[in-house]
Amino acid sequence: MEMLCAPVCFIKNAALVGAKHYKHLAGNADVAQTQPATPAMYHAAGMSYHAQTRMQPCSNMTMNHLARIDVPNNNILTPSQRSLKSFSIFVYAFSSTVSFGAFCYGLFIVYIRPNIRRSSIIRVLIVAQALNCIRFILRPVTTFSNVHSDFGCRALIFLNNATTMLPVNLCIYCVIYLQLVVFHKVSPTNRLPRALLLTAGTAVSVVPISMYLFLDPSTAGIDSFCNLKKIPDHKQYVFVICVLAIWEYLAGAVGVICILVLMVRIIRTRRETKRALLASAQYYGPSDAVQRNTNPELLNKTLSSIIWIPITPIISIWLNIFLLTISYYKRRVYTWLEFINVLLLALQSFFLAIALVINPSVRYAYTEHVKQRRTKKEAPTGVGTRATRTEHWPMQSHRHGSSPLSLEESLLIDTDSLL
């Protein structure tokens, strides 16, 4: 799921291969041994430097494991590779900006309304944004660093994969936790289910990847983890499948099943709630209908803003494994699939940010903050604070006999207490 490195991952011994071809073309062993091959030499001979050196962009899954790469000059890239490189840099800038902006916005919401931290969903979304920010910081370090020690390469591989997998599994945690609350009536105040789910998600993300820190490189058929192959051989492919792919597919399958179950629940309960609202409003009045059907509608609204979060991360993870499998069996890399993979990475960061922004609790907190600032500017001293406090807790005012709440206010006020 790493995209800046995808268009600039090339075989490290390209210069040696080029020198060998130049030796064959020039017929001069001394020149071939003392002068490295250049693109001009191949153009003069009517040959493609790219074709001779077989320099192809690697899959994003492969780049998850590379700790050091050599960035080639744009002059030796094919037009499709130059386009992929430019597109990847643009997507990297866009995704990192969105992730950092969403993380700062989440911290701002927590600052203006501290009690929103009671919502486990909000906490998970903010942590996922923080992990995305760390991943975007590590990506340039991984791409352009000159790490030669095996331990340094192992550490970079572990950090890159961990910061990639943790946000995905945290999103899946949100969906599983909602299913426990909705279907199995698990109390949101019970901390044990949350702790078990978070422990399981973290273990699935970290424990298999930690094998990179302890296993010998010969297990993957290489001499060092700094020299992972772009197109893997059999031993490296089996190693990646056992360490990463199995756990990613398992977590993704669980997430997809939970999403489908909750979608069916939303469709059914939303239809029933609408019918109940119409019938109650006809016989008992709109306020009674709101009071009687607020909880189902609130639940539907909250579920609708959360359940689709893991879809893009899961698809992106699965496509990475698909690209690795294609490169292993076909012994080549398809550039158009790399474009799709890079685009999915951008959508993953974008959707995670949107899920945080449109969350009912976050929207309500921001709306109340704006109202509070306007009240302080317009009202005299001492009046704005009292009005803001009364407005900030509309459910309490309703209990004491003031005017009934609208449906929208009822939907937005208690999302954090529900989850």
Residues 22, 27, 31, 32, Cα dihedral to 10° = 40
- The CATH number of residue 256's host domain is 1.20.1070.10
Residue 54 falls inside a structural domain: no
CA nearest neighbour of 324 among 6, 4, 62, 55: 62
Domain range for 388: 61-418
Q: Where are the alpha helices (DSSP H) in 35-149?
A: 39-44, 49-53, 60-63, 79-112, 120-144
Residue 2 falls inside a structural domain: no
Residue 67 falls inside a structural domain: yes
Residue 52 falls inside a structural domain: no
Counted domains in the chain: 1
Q: Output the CA torsion sign for 324, 326, 329, 335.
A: negative
Residue 185 falls inside a structural domain: yes
CB 258 within 8 A of CB 176: yes
Residue 18 falls inside a structural domain: no
Per-residue pLDDT of the chain (419 residues; tens, 9 = 90+): 343 343 334 333 333 334 444 444 444 444 333 344 443 333 333 333 333 333 333 334 433 433 333 444 445 667 777 888 888 888 888 888 998 999 999 999 999 988 887 777 788 888 888 888 888 888 787 777 777 777 888 888 888 888 888 888 887 887 788 778 777 777 777 888 888 888 888 888 888 888 888 888 888 888 888 877 777 788 888 888 888 778 877 877 888 888 788 778 777 776 665 655 555 545 444 444 444 445 555 556 656 666 666 776 777 777 777 887 888 888 877 778 778 878 877 777 887 888 788 877 788 888 888 888 888 887 665 544 444 444 444 444 343 433 333 333 333 333 333 44
**Distance between CA atoms of residues 56 and 72, nearest Å:** 11
Residue 7 falls inside a structural domain: no
Residue 46 falls inside a structural domain: no
Tokens of 87: 């597109």
